[in-house]
Amino acid sequence: MLRITIDKGTSLMTFKLEGRVAGEWVDELERAWLEEAGRGKLINVDLTGVTFVDEEGKKLLGRIVERGSNLYATDCMNRSIIEQIMRKRHPHAGNGLNHSLHSQVR
């Protein structure tokens, strides 16, 4: 199961995810994100409450980043997932996080 809570601020929107970004829930997240992505607001995706992300979920999160949204988390597992996604998008980042990656993995 995946709970998606959307906080719609004036210039910033936050998707707070809780549960599993896997299976059918990947499609549900994509539908919700696409519905809001065209509204011209910056979107942050909070992964702190996520307990598992499958490969399709990682691919979707990568597409979300490519379209200008930010991912963040406070726990080690999800910070590692964000780092993996960002390294795929920026393969020359080396072993450590560069400045632009670090700002998204907080």
Q: In degrees rounded to 5, what are phi and psi of residue 103?
A: -65, -25
- 2-104 has which fold? Transcription Regulator spoIIAA (3.30.750)
- Banded model confidence at residue 89, pLDDT cuts 50, 70, 90: confident
Report the share of the chain in percent with pLDDT over 90.
68
pLDDT at 100: 40
Instruction: Say yes or no to pLDDT of 39 above 50.
Output: yes
Instruction: Say yes or no to pLDDT of 106 above 50.
Output: no
pLDDT at 60: 97
Instruction: Say yes or no to pLDDT of 91 above 70.
Output: no
Residue 98 vs residues 8, 70, 72, 87, 101: alpha-carbon distances, Å = 30, 16, 16, 10, 5
